[in-house]
Amino acid sequence: MAKAHKKKRLESRFGKKEKPMAKISLPTNQEPLKVEKKASKNFLETHYKHLLIIPFLMLLTAFVILGAHYAQTGDLINRGISLKGGTAITLTPAEADLTQIDTSALEAAIREAHPNIDVTVRTQKNLQDITAIEIETDISDQDQLTGLKETLAATIPDLTVEEAGKNAQTSGSALGDAFFRQIIQALIVAFILMGIVVFIQFRVPIPSLAVILAAFSDIVVTLAVVDLLGIKLGTAGIAAFLMLIGYSVDTDILLSTRVLKNTEGSLSQRIMSAMKTGLTMNITTLAAVTIALIFTQSDTIRQIMTILFIGLLVDMINTWIQNAGILRWYVEKKELN
């Protein structure tokens, strides 16, 4: 009995000592972890809703620029000869000494003699040598073309009227308009097919519309910048916009796939993983485009690369701020529901 009583007293004493140990609760240790987790959020994650103002403001500004351009010219873009018709005259070293021709003075002389025409004079080079001088105008009438040849012969030394028209190519305005309409139809069909493929891939409307919106914003904003720069778009420029649609959709699909179909990691980790891959793709493409712009002497290649360079910069904003913000908003709202 004495032993049992002693054991009981010992158990009661140790039991009282165990209670303070049981009071060491985890919630007090977890509070700093929560604070640390909030502090580790990056700027994009914290302010993504406010940052959405930037791409939408860019899109609104682009609409204003395109609208003003349409009000002034009756067209949304500056169309080149291949899209609106006209005449292109190419002068080679066989017709004249190209090194003695001042292209700015030649363009001014043509404008003075023919004030109602649109004219552009460009130089084509091969390394350091001038290979040709190209005069593009919106002239398609034969009488006006004869007058242009006479102006060239009078302005350029040792150039005859026959030599001035030796390498002349004329396309009618009806052909240019028809070709331009076909290109616009091709762009519309491309967007429709792209939307169908994206919707089949994700089967949810908001992420699919976000991808289409990003591609649409890329085209509209880039087109507005091209108008501000005064670039005259030809068939090469339209091809560049088709390429830009492909680049835009590529990064947007990458982002949407990582966020919606990948279950590993948190939402922020999935977005950052897609951003690292996408920005690597964009930067390498920008590097290649920049090299082409530096070394190319072809106006056609230069126009393509210029449009791609502008479009890729715009795409970085529309993909990683606009599309990523919409996707984050969508996923967070879905998780709350």
pTM beyond cutoff 0.85: no
Q: Does residue 237 sit in helix, strand or coil?
A: helix
Tokens of 30: 């977890």
Asked if residue 156 lies in contact with residue 106, where contact means CB atoms within 8 angstroms, the answer is yes
Amino acid at 6: K
Query: Mean pLDDT over all residues of the chain?
Result: 80
pLDDT of the residue at 5: 53
Tokens of 336: 């709350």
Q: Stretch 29-38: mean pLDDT, rounded?
A: 43
Share of the chain above pLDDT 90, in %: 21
Q: Stretch 174-189: mean pLDDT, rounded?
A: 76
Are 44-78+174-336 and 86-171 in the same CATH fold? Answer: no
List the one residue out of 250, 265, 260, 275 whose CA is nearest residue 203: 260
Does the domain spanning 44-78+174-336 belong to CATH 1.20.1640.10? yes
- List the single range of 8-22, 81-95, 179-193 with lowest mean pLDDT: 8-22
Give per-residue pLDDT as tens, 54-83: 999 999 999 999 999 989 888 888 887 777
Tokens of 284: 């390498």
Q: Does residue 203 sit in helix, strand or coil?
A: coil
The model's confidence at residue 84, banded by pLDDT at 50, 70 and 90, is confident
Contacts of 210 (CB under 8 A, 6+ apart): 252, 256, 322, 323, 326, 327, 330
Give per-residue pLDDT as tens, 292-333: 988 887 778 888 999 999 999 999 999 999 999 999 998 888
Q: Which fold has domain 86-171?
A: Alpha-Beta Plaits (3.30.70)
Q: Stretch 159-184: mean pLDDT, rounded?
A: 73
In the chain, domain spans: 44-78+174-336, 86-171
